[in-house]
Amino acid sequence: MTLTLIPDYDLSKHTWLGVGGKADLFAEVDNEENLISFLKNSQCPITVLGAGSNVLIRDGGISGVVLKLGADFQKIEITGDKVIAGAGAKLMEIAQKTAKSGLAGFEFMEGIPGTLGGGLASNAGAFGSCLSDLLQEVFFTDFRGNTKTISDFSDWGYRYSPYAHKGIFLGGVLQAKRFASSDEISALMQKYHEKRAASQPQGVRTAGSTFKNPKEGSAGFLLEKSGLKGYKKGNAEMSTKHANFLVNHGATATELEDFVNEVRSIVAEKQGVKLEWEVQCLGRKR
Ligand SMILES: Cc1cc2nc3c(=O)[nH]c(=O)nc-3n(C[C@H](O)[C@H](O)[C@H](O)COP(=O)(O)OP(=O)(O)OC[C@H]3O[C@@H](n4cnc5c(N)ncnc54)[C@H](O)[C@@H]3O)c2cc1C
């Protein structure tokens, strides 16, 4: 099986920050069989993109092949208290479907605009919950097409998955915490929605939290304490509403990355804390 590979494909339209150069080659792959067969026959470096809500793709673009997971990977099935979802399924859609079926535990996914695959790469979470709390099995392949089923999540942690950058998540089985009424679940989701609307910038180009929270406390608080809430340089800004949200008003990827690194240095200097990027910087500098 050969995929239709598109050369020099503009990646900026696939990212929330709206920046990034071109993929040498790009393909959307519609099912697992085609993906595995492609990986087994390819020698190229592979990068996979989900919804592009946690990446800063550099201006020099990405070497090799960039893959997006297509139709078959977007399926979500509910059986009893379990959800079987493809890695291309949107987390918000999983939250909505499980709410309708009376499955509790998925409410935190409301408001996370990524896919299950992207979420598994960072063990996405919010409001004290994260994906690994719910995982029963995860289907994974390395970049050469060797598949495995992961069922031990004891070494997953806060925004950490041991499999990130080592291959491609294909999908997973998630188990509900309990059954509850759809009204109860929807009420919690609404509460989370309101909390986000009150504390995070809306309708802007951002990639969510820029830095992980360090052991010293909240990254947003440390940024604020360093006088960086609303700090702006050119077209890059740390949001006036939430200091840990980078907002792009029209900067290039290089300008955004340099800006975030400068902010990081200021926090290190003023608070003695080295913040770690949560946003994934991918690709080549120009
Ligand atoms: C407004 C806003 C709010 C946000 N709120 C939260 C939040 O509350 N909590 C939170 O955790 N995150 C949050 N995020 C960040 C982001 O939505 C999550 O990290 C999300 O899970 C990323 O998924 P994605 O599909 O967009 O991944 P992408 O951004 O496309 O990719 C992220 C990384 O995952 C890798 N990846 C993508 N798909 C796969 C796959 N199938 N297999 C292997 N690797 C893969 C990519 O190569 C890349 O390294 C927020 C972002 C925004 C813009």
pLDDT digits (tens, 9 = 90+) for 176-195: 999 999 999 999 999 999 99
In the prediction, which pLDDT does 123 show?
98
Ligand 1 binding pocket, CB closer than 6 Å: 16, 47-55, 69, 87, 112-115, 117-119, 121-122, 124-126, 168-169, 206-208, 280
Architecture field, domain 201-282: Alpha-Beta Complex (3.90)
Residues 6+ apart with CB under 8 A from 18: 12, 205, 248
The neighbour count for residue 23, using CB atoms within 10 Å, is 27
| Residue for token pair 């999908």 | 171
This model's pTM is above 0.95: yes
Domain boundaries, the chain: 6-71, 75-197, 201-282
Closest residue by Cα to atom 12, ligand 1, is 124
Averaged pLDDT score across all residues of the chain: 97
The reply to whether 144 belongs to the active site is: no
Total residues belonging to the chain: 286
In the prediction, which pLDDT does 176 show?
98
CA of 122 to the centre of ligand 1 (A): 7
In the prediction, which pLDDT does 106 show?
98
- CATH 3.30.43.10 is held by the domain 6-71: yes
Q: Provide the CATH topology of domain 75-197.
A: 3.30.465
Closest residue by Cα to atom 28, ligand 1, is 52
Percentage, residues of the chain above pLDDT 70? 99
Q: Which long-range contacts (CB under 8 A, 24 or more apart) does 88-92 make?
A: 88/50, 88/115, 88/116, 88/117, 89/115, 89/116, 89/171, 90/51, 90/114, 90/115, 90/116, 91/115, 91/116, 91/119, 91/124
The reply to whether 37 belongs to the active site is: no
The reply to whether 209 belongs to the active site is: yes
Closest residue by Cα to atom 33, ligand 1, is 118
